[in-house]
A and B are shown apart, each in its own frame.
Chain A
Amino acid sequence: MRALNVTKVAALALTFAWVAGCSSTSTQTDSADMGAGMGSDSGAMTSGSAGMGGMSGSELPAEVANLQTVFYFDFDQSTVKGESFADLEAHARYLSSNPQASVRLEGHADERGTREYNIALGERRGNAVARFLMVNGANAGQVEVISYGEEKPAVMGHGSDSWAQNRRVELKYAGR
């Protein structure tokens, strides 16, 4: 039991050390946003300016147009499944050979559990994919992870099928 824990801890520590190293580079200040959304009165209507428009899956570069961009996860898991390896490796090769390209990894969770905790779970999945990409040649600066938790489900519904489709990481290339 203890030995198992130790190995777990060690593995996790390594993993997170790696992730921390990667994500720190992506820190960018959004100070311009400070007070940007100054609303009118009570009915402050903010338009999500940077919504889905800029980064839609439809604008995939030709080299990776045939690759999977959505990767699924098992319940309560954040390990990349073997079925996703081939496509993710291809994405990593593309990023490696196109340093100006960058991807945004959107982590999601199913609706079960609490929202803030699911946000954390989604981030963990995004980080797992990011780590996979970097192991396979992508640069840390090319990968950004955003978690939406259960806020943006791919499908509605409360069955295990829906949940399986919602436990995912979506890979989106940033517009050039």
Chain B
Amino acid sequence: MDKRSYLVPGLLAFLLHVAVLLLLAGHWFDHADPRELQPRHIQAQMVDLGAVSQALEKQTEQARRAEEARKKDEQRKLNEREQAQEKQRQQELAAQEKAKKAAQAQEQKVRDEQAAKEKSVKEAEQKAETQRQQKEQADVLAKAKAAETKAAAEAKQKAQEQAKLATEKKKQVEDLAKAAADKKKQADDQARRAAEKKQADEQAKLAAEKKKQADLAAKAKAETEAKRVAEAKRKQEEQQRKEADKARELAQLEKELAQEQQKMAADRASQQLTVSMGDYIRSELERYWRISSASRNGMEAVVEIRLFPSGEVDSANLVLSSGDSGFDTTAVQAVYKVDRFSRLTELDPLTFERNFRKFRVKFRPEGLRW
């Protein structure tokens, strides 16, 4: 019994160290890319490690515990996988939705671009430019999001692989433990020397000490790891929040754009009316503007006209003088002489408010003798 008890624990301890080192090494390599950090997976490893160390302390319970831990671990991993899949699905869904939205936006944009082209080449160009930029940005955003989703999926896959590897290692450890138990049985059969037993004891003690240290280190490491994980989590959340913000903004912009376009369509109609009303107002003023003989080509006076919805003149005020008070007077008088722009009642109230409640008229005679 004594002999058995020295050799087997020693081997076990050695193997355990190797296993721990291997696991940790894998972990260290993982650090290289913070994006690939999978906090839950690392947590699982930690728990796993604790279970293994406990198994070392109490050999009789070891197998059961290991089994328990394994089961637990598997359960966790299953949960994680499910969660990850869920998350991935959600992200994919979000991405799909975004893509759909983008597509819709694009569709609308195309429609609107055509409409805008009809309206005015210049405006259309300008608008198309901004729309194109927005679309590009949306595309870029969608792409970035897709890439992120993909990266996350990859990371998860990697984590799963690692978890699988860890499980395999554990199995090996378990196999080894089994083998060790067999050997112990053999060793029971072969009596060992006390010194050897003592040595084994010492070795076991040493191993225990080492294990304690490893525990401490693992603990410390786990703490920093937890911090890092928390940080990473925070970062990720922030990232997600940003993305959400962006998406919201984009949606908002699209909505505004759509509204604006609707408004523009309405405006186009009202603008046509505005133009014809402008012609009407001009002809009315030309009928009543008595150009004085002191007027000269190049004189220019601007009169601001305020109207009542009935088309009646509320006020006419000079806002830019020609420098010739007589000329200015004739311009203002022309407005009052018209008295009522009766056709303005044909306008819808919105167009009237927007364009004809208050507007300016520039009096600038052409074709005078001088």
Task: Determine whether A and B are in direct contact in the complex, meaning some CB atoms lie less than 8 angstroms apart.
Answer: no
Chain B positions within 8 Å of A, measured between CB atoms, are none
